[in-house]
Structure 1
Amino acid sequence: MKEDQGRNAKKESDPGEILSEAPLSKNNAITFPVDSALPELKRSLAANRPTILIAQPGAGKTTRVPPALLHEPWLEGRKILMLEPRRLAAVSAADYIADSLGGKTGETVGYRIALDNKSGSRTKIEVVTEGILTRMLQTDPSLEEVGLVIFDEFHERNLQADLGLALALQSRAVLREGLRILVMSATIDPEPLSDVLGGADVIRSEGRVYPVETVHLGAARDLPLERKVAQAVRRAWEDTEGGILVFLPGVREISRAREELTRGGGLAGAEILALHGGLGREEQRRAVRSSADGKRKVVLSTSLAESSITVEGVTAVVDSGLMRTQVFSPRTGMSRLVTLTESLESADQRRGRAGRTAPGICYRLWSREEESGMPPSRIPEMLQSDLAPLALELAAWGARDPKELDWIDVPPEAGYAEAQALLRRLHALNEEGGITEEGRAMSDLGVHPRLARMIRRAADPDLGAHGLACDLAALLQEQASSSAPVGGTVTDTVSLLPRLEALLAASRKRNPGMPRTPEDRAAERAARLRRIAGVTESSDGEPHRAGLLLAYAFPDRVGRRRGGGRFLLSGGRGVCIPERELLSREEYVVAADIDDQGSEGRIWLAAPIEADDLNLFAAEEGIEETRVEWDSDRAAVSALRIRRIGAVILQSAQASSPDPEAVGAALLEGIRAADGRILPWGKEARELQNRMMFMHLADSEFPAADDATLLAELEEWLLPYASGIRNETQLKRLNLPQLLEQRLTWEQRRTLDAEAPTRLSVPSGSRIAVDYSDPERPFMAVKLQEMFGRSETPRIGRGRVPITLQLLSPARRPVQITSDLANFWKETYFEVKKDLKGRYPKHYWPDDPNGAEATRHVRPRK
């Protein structure tokens, strides 16, 4: 049953909610809950103990702890390094701490993030994003200039945070015993973390408490998300007086919700703002801070505002219950951006944003029943991310196996093996898993290994595409981090080229006074990459080479058209492009973005690769080989000269003189694929095989000859006699009985003839064939009259196996089957005799079969 969506919907009051983090003031008389924990924290760090600080949002841990430790004697003049999971959080924290100390950002307090650096030689508290720590450790593993590393908001469990902690712990254990480590979080379970830290002091600090009501709206499932959000926002607008913070999964949903709120009206005087990582610094600050003219704000945010960031003036939260994240598939080697239901842990974090300065209210767009099925906590990125960047960093660190370091969650073996395989293909690792010179240079660029390889290869003056590679890398990074595509205002095509043109145009016409677009952000990334890579030339006029550069980044995603918009990738996976796309008619493309849905993924972003560039790439990264294999359709060995990139065959032609060993191996492959049916199995060959099988059962020292053994040992008994044979017709010329006999020594052949004879003499003088079709029970079909005078069953196999006798009437119809002839004469013969004598009165039916004379005729002849 759906929840009531009206004003009388069920409300839950939670007095345990905590106050969100607030900025510090220059007035240090203001106290925060974390202040009471500072003495214990200082004692723990002074004793050089790894420390975990559990401090709820609002306790002041981010802005209060670093300056409180600034003058501790054990720092010995070194700096405090604090890691934040998001760029905006890093900048905001640095600004707040600098303000609290009466200074400016870039002096005593500074920050360093991917696209910005505001710190200097005097900086003693440096706030950085997690990837920056990794770069610092790779440059200086002992972190000589750092006295304390603080991992803030560690409960988010980002891949870079886990990596940074593992490297810092090894640095502390091996190089710098005096390096202090402090982990701060609001919700993390401290026990697993303490184990990784080798036993840590756990210090707790509670936040200031304001009650937050929780309203489960249980919105109708058939309504678009933006309609559900707009309804909840309008209700919050009427029920509350402060700002409203709305959590949405991505930029696209933010844009749609903003349009719906603007179009629907009912929010007179509202300032509707977006908040996500792709915005410019001033746009982000405007969303976070109180409105200068006192307007009520509606802030539409991604999970960016879930922790670390304080949106001032908020008294109501609207939570969509959704989040967007990258999920990696080791099966396909591809990542995809997926929208998932958030965890209960995240929902509680979001709800807490409503109770910063006064009692608040949180509107959830799901029912209480639905809440019971939500995951309790978020999945660490380590368990669902592309591990190629991690594997490259570990190789640069000198670790061949991730188990050499301490982790909360060890990198999954399948994902890590896939990552190493990719790095070998990108020339970053050697076959032993060690980093190459190329891999080390790639690591220094600080981008995904795929993009690093592309930039490095494009640096070759013969290509003349170094700048273009930086632009492409920036474009792909922006595509991955934002659901608003670069060039999205220009085209919806999957072709990368129009998006690249949009980026180049943004680079030429950037207007600092206008809000940043995805194109602007990509242009800024490109400029930074150009500086790091030492690029000076322009990439204008080079977009046609995008396909070649993408091939260096994605050697496993070079695709050849199969028709109907379908392509086969060099990695072996099938993909498709909608046939309405012009790109679907290209012979060759390189895919940069593919989903992992179903048997054939869909290409979302790709570029064509021209013939000359394809040949250039194939000359470097392709394989030329003679492929000798069994063609089941022709029942013959096929020998082709192949030029290929992975699974994509570029050219093939008949090979004139293939390697005889390869031909022989392919022939045996074909025989095995057909379960031996294409061998010339005649009656004589099968009879010989069955006799050999019987002897093996009777005497284990005798060679096995069953089908499975013969197929497994083709190299021994067949291959030496198969020279020049390439098809089934030629196989038919083989003398198979003779080849089977070659498996036996001369002595074994004598034994076979003696102990598994093809015929046996019976009392009548006839030689009767022995049937070994069931090697466990060989039998003879013989007329009953021809066995008169013999009391015991004939035996073979060194006298161990009695022959099963199928005793026949004069008309050669079976009348009895026995393996105990003596018992037959004694117990059954006389009953059989009555019947046979009635039907064949002229024939000889003695009363004493043991003493009677055997005969092949109606009666014995004297």
Structure 2
Amino acid sequence: MPLPIDEVLSRIVSSIQAARPVVLKAPPGAGKTTGIPPVLLKEGIQQFGQILLIQPRRLAARSAASRIASTLGETVGDRIGYHVRFDRRIGARTELVAMTPGMLLRRLNDDPLLDSVGCVLLDEFHERSLELDLCLGMLHRIRTTLRDDLRLVVMSATLDPDPIVDFLGEGDAVVSQGRSFPVEIRYRPMQSRQRTEDAVADLLPEVRDATDGDVLVFLPGVGEIKRTSRRLAHVASTLGYEVAELYGDLSPEQQDRVLRPGDRRKVVLSTNVAETSVTIPGVTAVIDGGQAKVMTFHAAVGLPRLQQQPISMASADQRAGRAGRTQPGIAYRLWPEAMNRSRPAYDVPESRRSDLCQTVLILARWGEIDVASFPWIDPPPSKSVDQAKALLRQLDAIDQDGKITSDGYRMSNMPLHPRLSKLIQSGHRWDVLWPACLTAAMLSERPSLGNADSGSNSQDGSASGEASVSNGWPENDLADTIDRLQTLSSQKTQRSSVEAQVVRVARRLEKIARSDPDAAPAHDESAAELPVGQRLGRALLSAFPDRIARRRDTASAQGVMIGGRGVRLMPSSTVANSALFLCIDVDSGDTEAKVRSAVGIQLDWLDDERVSQVDEAEFDPSTESLVMRRRTYVQDLLINETPIQCVPNESTAEVLLSEYLKRYGWCPPDCHNSVNEFVARVEFLQKNAPVLELPPIGREQIEPTLRMLCAQHIRLSSVVDASWIDFLRAAYTYEQLRLIDRNAPDSLTVPGGSQRKIDYSEADRPTMSVKPQELFGWTESPRLAMSRVALRFQLLAPNGRPQQLTDDLASFWKNTYPQVRKDLRGRYPKHHWPEDPLTATATRNGLKPR
């Protein structure tokens, strides 16, 4: 049967033969995945090297290889092969390999230029996984630097091809219209608190009556598929349906059974793997739960995790289109139509929301140290890159310059997050490789198995012949689960279960680890005497160095983690006594994070370079002085502290300085009159005689003195009470001080013989308080600031109270003094009240001269 893609095949082949990139947009069902590869083989594209077909999922890669081989009348493993995590079928004659992006990245590790590859097809690029984006960037880098002959095809069901062509800098955009039938959208919102499996069961009779084909039900994950399968067992059989399950962890044989047409109508319960990656024939109805599990950074365990969230409208339309492949169909959506407005139009690229630790390590191995300069089609946030680099440095995977280390190189060989690769690497060195592989597999595949509240604790330990993890170091919430997995691994026959899947993954990880000759145990001989649990604890510490927490109080379930986050152990946690513990799985809360699984550790397990001891000074408000404590830290986590004698130095000076600045700023203390007066005089001249160019009394003059004083004392009062006037005057030259004293003297000798101070608190009006009898003989007011400002007098009555203000003494003697004399002479007869003040003799106290 002709495929819709056939109409554009000649253009695609022509561009590939000319080594021009191709960006193809073709809807699901157009035949791009199974139609293009056979044509490329027929046209001899394999002459340029092996053809790689990149599929975003393991199931899709195996399925694509099987269908292409079937189309050619061949078997998988001959000319057509596949390579997915822990599974490959490739022979000496293989010309086309279907593989996941992860396998392509691993191949790039071993063959950075893909010398044996002639053409790469990136399928389902619209899913925008982090690995797909990384693959595109690396292939683009290869093509634009050393291998312009590498053929590249980017295939998508929904994305506009033009932006991708622009990113590549060249290429041909090809659009295939595909072939589909109309699909009716029906909204069947779930009732309040109704479970998805119940909603599907209630809807199935309507679906059977409305269509005559198979039914495809989209569910978020395997757990939902299993629950729905159990719920539909009786209902589906009654309605004449056979229930089938489809998800990535199924074996190839199980997947093939689902995809093959059968004698009975089927209800296929699937994850979003059936959205675009595989085609199920005979589907005429879709039931869409509107949810999917997408890869995001899971802060709880510091690892990438699948997190359930609403799908985008683009995904909803993709799912609906599956009902119209062979005839008109119906798509049932289990949400209100109005909710469409709150759904995103497209999926957010994974590079914008995911952990970048593994990505940065891959790039470092490839020689890309500057992640920002890598050709991203959508650059990841710089903050995420910095966080990834920080963790990789703690894992000893990269050095301070971002270059990969020998440990990092071996870690990159593992198909795991670098944390778990480090766990296995350290487990091998501590001679607990198998328990470490089990732990890594559990945390990677099913982290909830190890939770303290999982209810799976065993009292019997390990019966596998392996040393029990819980013996010798019971403070490990993972220990009982690991012991149970060890027991399961020793059994000749294993039931199909989540735990059995963890064991299978662990065995594959162990095989990879043992194949590395440089990763053999390298610990001290005395380590062999340590219990297995302690050695595994040390390996976990190397993988989770940023998850150390300190118990707040003895026997308390509360603690504080590196970074300052408050945490609380589960009531069932086995970590009962350790002052320090690792938070392996953390559930963020409003005030405290719940630690689902923890492992107790000891301070002497930490390498010396990870522990720092510092003497830190603090200001004690009760004594207004510094106190010193010797503190032990792991990163920013305070482990313990001891009071010690505080000796003033440059380090303590910063603490005392900070307290001083809170109160006074960069100014001298205002509790000294002499200081205040000097500052006022300088400010007066700066404003009224700027030509003198006196520097202001600010930070430049204050800071050296203040820092010196703070480095000499531990009490704030000692700094405040210092001889500040001497320090301030020392900040000026002799000539500057002479100008200050001449143009803004702190006092003047009046005709009566007394030394009277001048008040400069009002910068424009320097004022002297004095009795008029002391000024007899002065014909006019003295002038300050290079004669630009007249001194103002506050004239006092004999009782000392202010009587008159004047800055024009000549006018006062002539116009005002006669009236003052008249008013006060009778009240104060003993005081000197001459008629002519200009010729009279001034007196010191205002009384008549004797």
Deviation at 1:395, TM superposition (A): 1.5
Deviation at 1:65, TM superposition (A): 0.7
Is 1:352 aligned with 2:352? no
**In structure 2, what is the equivalent of residue 20 of structure 1?**
none
Q: Which amino acid aligns with 2:456?
A: V
Q: Distance in 2 between matches of 1:835 and 1:330?
A: 86
191-200 vs 659-668, which moves further: 659-668
Whether contact under 8 Å (2:181, 2:329) holds in the other structure is: yes
Whether contact under 8 Å (2:777, 2:840) holds in the other structure is: yes
Counterpart pick for 1:477 among 412, 420, 444:
444
275-284 vs 838-847, which moves further: 838-847
**In structure 1, what is the equivalent of residue 505 of structure 2?**
525
Counterpart pick for 1:615 among 604, 609, 625:
604
Q: Which amino acid aligns with 1:533?
A: A
Change (3 A) 1:741 1:121: farther
Whether contact under 8 Å (1:510, 1:520) holds in the other structure is: no
Deviation at 1:546, TM superposition (A): 3.7
Whether contact under 8 Å (1:479, 1:486) holds in the other structure is: no
Counting aligned pairs with the same residue, the percent is 35
Deviation at 1:358, TM superposition (A): 2.1
Aligned residues: 815
Change (3 A) 1:732 1:103: same
Q: Distance in 2 between matches of 1:834 and 1:253?
A: 106
**In structure 2, what is the equivalent of residue 499 of structure 1?**
481
**In structure 2, what is the equivalent of residue 748 of structure 1?**
736
Change (3 A) 1:151 1:682: same
1:88-167 correspondence runs (5 A): 88-167=59-138
Q: Distance in 1 between matches of 2:708 and 2:848?
A: 54
**In structure 1, what is the equivalent of residue 727 of structure 2?**
739
Q: Which amino acid aligns with 2:490?
A: R
Is 1:552 aligned with 2:542? yes
Deviation at 1:354, TM superposition (A): 1.7
Q: Distance in 2 between matches of 1:192 and 1:640?
A: 60
**In structure 1, what is the equivalent of residue 219 of structure 2?**
248
Whether contact under 8 Å (2:287, 2:333) holds in the other structure is: yes
Change (3 A) 1:510 1:575: farther
> Which secondary structure does the structure 1 equivalent of 2:369 belong to?
coil
Whether contact under 8 Å (1:494, 1:604) holds in the other structure is: no
1:477-520 C-alpha deviation (Å, 9 max, x unpaired): 1136x9999996726999333332343233223646x43x2222
1:697-716 correspondence runs (5 A): 699=690, 701-706=693-698, 713=703, 716=704
Counterpart pick for 2:456 among 477, 490, 497:
490
Query: TM-score, normalised to structure 1's length?
Result: 0.84
**In structure 1, what is the equivalent of residue 274 of structure 2?**
305
Whether contact under 8 Å (1:717, 1:743) holds in the other structure is: no
149-158 vs 192-201, which moves further: 192-201
Q: Which amino acid aligns with 1:644?
A: Y
**In structure 1, what is the equivalent of residue 431 of structure 2?**
464
89-98 vs 656-665, which moves further: 656-665
Deviation at 1:277, TM superposition (A): 2.9
Whether contact under 8 Å (1:784, 1:807) holds in the other structure is: yes
> Which secondary structure does the structure 2 equivalent of 1:459 belong to?
helix
Is 1:322 aligned with 2:291? yes
Query: TM-score, normalised to structure 2's length?
Result: 0.85
Deviation at 1:655, TM superposition (A): 5.4
Q: Which amino acid aligns with 2:502?
A: A
> Which secondary structure does the structure 2 equivalent of 1:351 belong to?
helix
> Which secondary structure does the structure 2 equivalent of 1:410 belong to?
coil
**In structure 1, what is the equivalent of residue 342 of structure 2?**
373
Deviation at 1:815, TM superposition (A): 6.8
Whether contact under 8 Å (1:427, 1:436) holds in the other structure is: yes
1:333-387 C-alpha deviation (Å, 9 max, x unpaired): 7766543221111111111122222221111122222112211111001111111
Change (3 A) 1:115 1:774: farther
Whether contact under 8 Å (2:445, 2:502) holds in the other structure is: yes
Whether contact under 8 Å (2:300, 2:585) holds in the other structure is: no
Q: Which amino acid aligns with 1:473?
A: A
Q: Distance in 2 between matches of 1:550 and 1:255?
A: 33
> Which secondary structure does the structure 1 equivalent of 2:362 belong to?
helix
Whether contact under 8 Å (1:566, 1:584) holds in the other structure is: no
1:89-146 C-alpha deviation (Å, 9 max, x unpaired): 1111111111111111111111111121111221111011101111111211211111
Q: Distance in 2 between matches of 1:122 and 1:841?
A: 132
**In structure 1, what is the equivalent of residue 562 of structure 2?**
570
> Which secondary structure does the structure 2 equivalent of 1:555 belong to?
coil
> Which secondary structure does the structure 1 equivalent of 2:546 belong to?
helix
Is 1:454 aligned with 2:423? yes
1:346-745 correspondence runs (5 A): 346-460=315-429, 463-479=430-446, 490=456, 495-509=477-491, 511=493, 514-515=495-496, 517-534=497-514, 542-562=532-552, 565-579=557-571, 581-583=573-575, 586-596=578-588, 598=590, 600-609=592-601, 611=602, 614-616=603-605, 618-633=606-621, 635-654=624-643, 660-672=649-661, 681-692=671-682, 694=684, 699=690, 701-706=693-698, 713=703, 716-721=704-709, 725-728=713-716, 731=719, 734-745=722-733
1:699-848 correspondence runs (5 A): 699=690, 701-706=693-698, 713=703, 716-721=704-709, 725-728=713-716, 731=719, 734-761=722-749, 766-773=754-761, 779-781=767-769, 795-799=783-787, 821=808, 842=827
Q: Distance in 1 between matches of 2:797 and 2:237?
A: 106
Q: Distance in 2 between matches of 1:353 and 1:805?
A: 99
> Which secondary structure does the structure 2 equivalent of 1:770 belong to?
strand
116-125 vs 772-781, which moves further: 772-781
**In structure 2, what is the equivalent of residue 13 of structure 1?**
none
> Which secondary structure does the structure 2 equivalent of 1:70 belong to?
helix
> Which secondary structure does the structure 1 equivalent of 2:332 belong to?
strand
Change (3 A) 1:720 1:168: same
Change (3 A) 1:769 1:166: same
**In structure 2, what is the equivalent of residue 11 of structure 1?**
none
Deviation at 1:403, TM superposition (A): 3.5
Q: Distance in 1 between matches of 2:668 and 2:446?
A: 55
Q: Which runs of 5+ in 1 are unaligned?
A: 1-29
Change (3 A) 1:654 1:69: same
Change (3 A) 1:335 1:103: closer
**In structure 2, what is the equivalent of residue 23 of structure 1?**
none
Q: Distance in 1 between matches of 2:414 and 2:546?
A: 22
Whether contact under 8 Å (1:630, 1:669) holds in the other structure is: no
Change (3 A) 1:446 1:329: closer
> Which secondary structure does the structure 1 equivalent of 2:378 belong to?
coil
Is 1:276 aligned with 2:247? yes
> Which secondary structure does the structure 1 equivalent of 2:330 belong to?
strand
Deviation at 1:561, TM superposition (A): 1.4
Is 1:79 aligned with 2:50? yes
Q: Distance in 2 between matches of 1:705 and 1:280?
A: 81
Q: Distance in 1 between matches of 2:296 and 2:453?
A: 24
Q: Which runs of 5+ in 2 are unaligned?
A: 459-474, 522-527
1:329-348 correspondence runs (5 A): 338-348=307-317
